[in-house]
Amino acid sequence: MTAHSELLAIRHGQSEWNLRGRWQGQADPPLTSLGERQAEIAADALGAALQNADGHRRTPPVDRHAISRTHRAVDLPAFDLVVSSDLQRARRTAEIIAKQLGAGEVVADEALRERSAGPWEGLTRAEIDEGWPGDVVARRWPLGFESEDSIARRLLPALQRHLSVCGRVLLVGHAGVLKTIDARVGLDDERVPNLAGRWFWLDGAAADAQWSWDQLEPRNRVELVSSDIDLMIE
């Protein structure tokens, strides 16, 4: 057994509702063709970074200036587990990356879904501002909008299960989920573009137990593709 677990948590590729500027929540729009291409580019960038990592399985840096290279990764250190939200924009992104890196089947987990946005799901920012003037800016959430505490309650047991493999884990999820992880480990709220995220480290002894958020150590942030999508629509 390795002495630690590594987690790379990233956001899915561009979805149809990202393209249209609609708040997604737990609705289930598919990836766009660009979103699928983003996943392929991300796999190349990630594969190159893993290939350059040394044999101690340290979290590798990602060269953002090299992410447009079109080589295909071969003979890469495999992820021990690839897990995703069961919503298709995340699951499909994970499947593309896993196939390209030779990482095996993707485990889809409902606990990794995006937060519910209640009555805002499917609406554009303009439609939300018309129906709930000033509420997005003031962070006044409507009835049915899932809180960070609620996300964290379903997310921690899922992470405890998946990181019990005590190896390298790729998680493909959503902006709200990634922001919740960051907040629980003491990081500031940051924009999360498509195919961006962060590496985390968990001591091996903790991975065998019911570890807590303060034992999950944040490492370097990555952006595997460039993106200019407005993350107010999640």
Positions marked catalytic: 12, 114
Chain center to CA of 79: 15
d(CA 124, CA 116): 15
Question: Which residues on neighbouring strands pair with residue 107, listed in sequence order?
Answer: 83
Three-state DSSP at 219 gives strand
For 207, the enclosing helix (H) or strand (E) is helix 204-207
| Token couple for 163 | 């990181």
- Using alpha carbons, list the distances in angstroms from residue 73 to 53, 55, 76, 220: 14, 17, 7, 22
The answer to whether 189 and 227 are in contact (CB under 8 A) is: no
Where b means 16+ CB within 10 Å and e means fewer, 119-156 reads ebbebeeeebeeebeeebeeeebeeebbeeeebeebbb
